[in-house]
Amino acid sequence: MNVCVQAVNFHAGAELCDFVEKKYAKLENYCDRIIAIEVYLKVKNTPDKRNKMVETKLSIPREEIVVKKICRTFEEGTDRSLDTLKRQISRCKEKTKTH
């Protein structure tokens, strides 16, 4: 599994990138067929404090899951994205079991 972290329009520190990679690496426990995970960290130009966006694209065979979360921090967005991805992965597993 390949985890690619990209910061859009800002420079992400090594600590943030390592945090995101370690968190998303845990998804292998839920699905062993994950091909790649692309994570885009973006800062939106809004006066609101919730201006950090974490966009995740998870690729598994015959399926691609995209999750977008806007939060106050990238860490919070990462955690929320992981929760959503875990639910989506379990739905995909259920769908393939019924067929």
Q: What is the pLDDT of residue 98?
A: 66
pLDDT in tens, 23-42: 999 888 888 888 999 999 99
Mean pLDDT across the chain: 89
Does residue 90 or residue 78 have the better pLDDT?
78
Into how many domains does the chain fold? 1
Q: Please, which residues bridge with residue 41 across strands? A: 7, 54
The whole domain housing 18 covers 2-98
CATH of residue 53's domain is: 3.30.160.100
- pLDDT-derived band at 48, boundaries 50, 70, 90: confident
Q: Flag whether the pTM goes above 0.75.
A: yes
